[in-house]
A and B are shown apart, each in its own frame.
Chain A
Amino acid sequence: MQDEPVATEQPQQQQQQQQQKEGEEVANTYVIRPNFESKFRPLLAKPVIHEVLVERLTDKAYDKEATSGLCKELTDEIKARLRANGFERYKFVVQVAIGEQRGQGVKMACRCLWDSDSDNYVQDIFMNDSLFCVAVAFGVFHY
């Protein structure tokens, strides 16, 4: 009976120490690769992007003035949602391209020089009659 309070105190102390470390600016965690649960997984991140695109772009038509503002808003929103989803210690780069659909040919490609164990990317494409939109989000682990 007396052992129980002692056992619960220790995790609380550890939590407090961790919280103090997060508040400091310079704190070594000696983490050199993400553990499995906190990896930037495409499966987890893709619905986030998809939701944003569908929400903001269904029934929108390409409009040359409004679209550049819309593009920036989309990138900021995707970045904010990815940050809110966890993925601690990841740096993000989000790129969105919106183009008018007029039958022209478009090709977009990317290549990355990184640590394929910890870094990854997610992409999504949205099309309607008047526009197409490509969104890519790259997650790069910060050692």
Chain B
Amino acid sequence: AGMDNLEATDESSFSVDEVSNIIKESVEDVIGTAHYSHNKVGQWTSSVIEQCVNQLTRLGKPFKYIVTCLVMQKNGAGLNTASSCYWDSQTDGSCIIKWENKSMYVIVSVFGLAV
């Protein structure tokens, strides 16, 4: 019975809550209440993603991560996103956060795949 626990301990399963907090903190930190600016978008997406990846690494879990970030100006236009994954549903997971402020939408998704 002791050996069975090795495969599915808390340390090696994807924790949606922890990751969701990491994402929200990163976006608030980098973008916050800023107004959409074409010149700065590249910088924002890079910073959000970098911060997320750094925090995820600090969790120290045996996972490979894929982080994507989409920033869109608020214009009245519609946007749909979807994702489909072929993985091991017991160990892998994803967390997708939609965030907005007055001038833009930000969608960050983190996929964690167990090693």
Residues of A within 8 A of B (CB): 62, 64, 67-68, 70-72, 74-76, 78-79, 83, 91-115, 119, 121, 136, 138, 140, 142-143
Asked if residues B57 and A113 are in contact (CB atoms below 8 Å), the reply is yes
Number of A-B residue pairs at CB separation under 8 A = 139
Can you identify 28 A-B contacts, CB atoms within 8 angstroms? A71-B82, A72-B82, A72-B84, A75-B82, A91-B88, A92-B85, A92-B87, A93-B86, A93-B87, A93-B111, A94-B83, A95-B82, A95-B109, A97-B79, A97-B81, A99-B77, A99-B79, A107-B71, A108-B70, A109-B68, A109-B69, A110-B67, A110-B69, A113-B64, A113-B66, A114-B66, A121-B66, A138-B66
A-chain residues with CB within 8 Å of residue B69 when the two chains form the complex: 108-110
Q: A108-B45, A113-B66 are in contact. List 14 more A-B contacts (CB 8 A).
A: A72-B84, A75-B82, A79-B86, A94-B83, A97-B80, A97-B81, A99-B78, A104-B74, A105-B72, A109-B46, A110-B66, A112-B67, A115-B64, A138-B66
Size bin of chain B's contact surface: 35 or more
